[in-house]
A and B are shown apart, each in its own frame.
Chain A
Amino acid sequence: MNSTPVQNTSKPREPLFHIVKRPTIPLWKSWLIRAVAILAAFLVCGIITFLLVKRNPLDMYIAMFRGSFGSSRKIWKLVKDIAILLCISLAVTPAFRMKFWNIGAEGQVLVGCLATTACLFYLGGKVPDWCLILLMLVTALIAGAAWGVIPALFKAKWKTNETLFTLMMNYVATYLVAFFLLTWTPDGSSTLGRIEGVGMLPVLFGNAYVLIILVVAILTIAMYVYLNYTKHGYEISVVGESENTARYIGISVPKVIIRTMLVSGALCGLAGFLIVGGLDRTITTESAGGQGFTAIMVSWLAKFDPLVMILTSFLLIFLDQGAAQVAQDFNMSDAFPSIITGIILFFIIGCEFFINYKVVFRSAKKEGQA
């Protein structure tokens, strides 16, 4: 600027760069940064693939794309997987908005699966089908809600740490499933066969996935409305932002915590119901398949906005299927999809830093003044 040049010959060294917070950034610019980050991520993935297997990176991108969109079967699978992941992500979101770090979705989904399977196992053929399906749904919702509300009760009453508590509940759920599997399989194999023919969810438009997709689509909109336009949603935001403010205006914080975790857990139960009732028709200790944890990422990446979550769940599922295809085509181990997913997520999450801050290097102009 108009600073006077200094006579000193030995100019002290200014740091090479320093970090400055950005003013509010225009929307297009933040999306540009994200797009650049994704491009850079694919570039790095290509380089790594090339270094590891000496194959043309372009082949890899094509394989990735084929993994998700290669055939109509793959596209259906993609959409179905998105639906299930999105369902669990929607379930954890109210709790996250309240800053209740529920990382027990895995367990809550699993008990939902367990409840559904138990209905099928014990009542299959003994009650009318519509009644069986209803029972499957209701018990799954109750089981998930119960799994969710237990940590909430402890948090509300004794301020226990919900992160640890919900995490521990996952293990309880896993071993509960293991126990029932032993009981249900007289041969001790712990492998329950598919229970077909009873309590089948309706097939719409000739595809078993349509119902699931429809349910989750409705749920997404409902959750968006619930969080943004209802009194409950408003209370959740207030409690999440500041418990003191909530107390100050007379919101009962324990009540909101418990109520929200009932909703959160029940929706996880719903996901369990969809997984067993609509897809797997059986249960293993891996029925939730880690999606309870992936859902946390989906929700965070979308900044807890249900509509943006459609995008983020698509991204994660796309990466997963694409990388699996690459591993298969290029004959690589199962670890490869994880490497690719990890790299891309690193870039996507890392670019948020550049949206909030900019790096200012020692300017040549100032050097010139010296």
Chain B
Amino acid sequence: MSKPIALEMKNISKSFGSIQANKNVSLEVYHGEILAILGENGCGKTTLMNMIAGIYFPDEGQVLVDGKEVVIASPKDAFAHKIGMIHQHFKLVDVFTATENIILGVKEQAGYSRAEAEARVREITERYGFHMDPHKKIYEMSVSEKQTVEIIKVLYRNADILILDEPTAVLTPQETDVLFDVLRRMRDDGKSVIIITHKLHEVLALTDRVAVLRRGEHIGTVNTAEADESMLTEMMVGKKVSLNIARSEPQDPCDRLTVSHISCTGYEGVKLLDDVSFTAKSGEILGIAGIAGSGQRELLESIAGLQHLDSGEITYLDPKTGETVNLRDKTPLQIRELGVRLSFVPEDRLGMGLVGNMDIVDNMMLRSYRKGHSVFVDRKRPRDLAERIVESLEVVTPGVTTPVRRLSGGNVQKVLVGREIAASPKVLMVAYPVRGLDINSSYAIYNLLNKQKEAGTAIIFVGEDLDVLIELCDRIMVINSGRITGIVDGRTAVKEEIGLLMTGSIRKKGKKKAQKRVKGVRKPKPRNRPKNRKKRRKGGARR
């Protein structure tokens, strides 16, 4: 390549305890290119970039910037070498404006002039075509606006090498397109842009070259123009993977769970759910799409008896007796005692669905420990169940007495889903079930869901990857700021249409969303890390 090398990594290794995060990775980045670092979750992409950004220090190896070896021991060092990273979790002061956040921490030689700073910020926004109001407060911003602030913050510090960690995880399809345009303009301006991702179609649409990591090792770098999806997948996974989800026709669906006009309010009087109505049917997967934090969690928790409702009804139709049971204002225990077979895989696996410090057996017991009148717990049956799940779902673990927090994300999820399915539910709610999982585990989970569907369970699936929702679900319900903006058929749905429904596309609603996020500050939710990668896109690259 004729372009000069901006950054070079030589034989970088890093381990955390017994886990080797990166092993002998060597990689170059040129000026004026967009490079993708592609790999499954846990393959060491972020760790590698964190070493360049000064967050971690490599155990071995060298980093060269413009041909000179450098030591990057802190983010400050990274900036000194014109390297800036935009992390998945934004680091902004909520009550400050965009400009204030951007200039925060920059030492100006000639003293501090706000006007000058603003002029420079404006110059940057114009140059690369950002849309940003420099006087807007962070808490009034949407996620994509916040991301813009983060990017400008890095540019303001004169970064020539920008690293973006999963930048599209929190964006709608439309916002993603805008971001890509900006990134292309930066490349044309001679900057090096590195994006960390596991989404193949983004790689193909945006980048010039792709470096693939697998289990911490650099498998190879290819020119995007010469790559295609199946080849990249094979490099990532190490073997051929079929990327199709089987979707069967629902078998005589009948109403199982009816939600009518439920509303609930958060601490600051913000409506978390606003007049939500829908019906989940047996033998059907109902998808729920929406920007993270739009009320998905509250909706599932309302049904599970964890959220106090202001109004509305939730009724369960018992398939055996044909009776209806009102679930509103019931605790999870009462719901179970009513004989309602409701299982729930919450989004926060280790913080809600499981107890990280307990072993698999004790986690199995969560659902069943109350059985019987003895004051002692019975670990025999949970142990049997744990062994069954480990075997049938191929959970990789040293044993059933290993604390679940030591398992990898995919195995944690298998334990949780396995336990919830073991109760042979009539209604199964899953929130972001493949977040953080590798391709094989993701497909294992989709298969489990499909099996439950065929067994006649009504499944409610909250997802973030629209491609997967469209492939897996029979119907997709879109939620925006706690309101249902539409329900579309999964077989005919178009991604762009769902994207528009997700944003609500009306300005007034946007305002509401901003308020909601204030609340998000108080109670941050893990909202990044989407997973799941394979795309069945026929159109190929979108350039």
Contacts and interface: CB of A to CB of B under 8 A. Distances in A.
B375 A1 contact: no
A191 interface: no
Contacts, number: 105
B331 interface: yes
B366 A3 contact: no
B70 interface: yes
B390 to A, nearest CB: 20
Most buried by B among A2, A229, A234, A251: A234
Nearest to B11: A3
A54 interface: no
A244 B351 contact: yes
Contacts of A14: 71
Given A242-B356, A244-B348, A247-B332, 17 more contacts: A6-B62, A8-B69, A11-B69, A12-B69, A15-B57, A15-B73, A18-B57, A22-B17, A231-B377, A233-B377, A234-B362, A237-B355, A237-B362, A248-B306, A248-B353, A250-B334, A250-B336
B68 interface: yes
A126 interface: no
Contacts of A21: 16-17
Nearest to A360: B59
B10 A3 contact: yes
B375 A230 contact: yes
Most buried by B among A230, A247, A252: A247
Contact of A23 (B17, B336, B357): B17
Nearest to A22: B17
A241 interface: yes
Interface string A351-370: 00000000010000010000
Most buried by A among B16, B365, B375: B375
Interface of A: 1-4, 6, 8, 11-15, 18, 20-24, 229-234, 237-238, 241-242, 244-245, 247-252, 360, 366
Nearest to B350: A242
A305 to B, nearest CB: 14
Interface residues of B, number: 50
Interface string B325-361: 0000001111110000000101010111111111000
Contacts of B336: 250
Interface string B17-43: 111000010000000000000000000
A20 B375 CA distance: 44
B24 A1 contact: yes
Nearest to A21: B17
B349 to A, nearest CB: 10
A245 B331 contact: no
A22 B333 CA distance: 41
B57 A245 contact: no
Contacts of B344: 248
Contacts of B135: none
Contacts of A234: 362, 365, 369, 377
B17 A4 contact: no
A170 to B, nearest CB: 30
Contacts of A12: 69-71
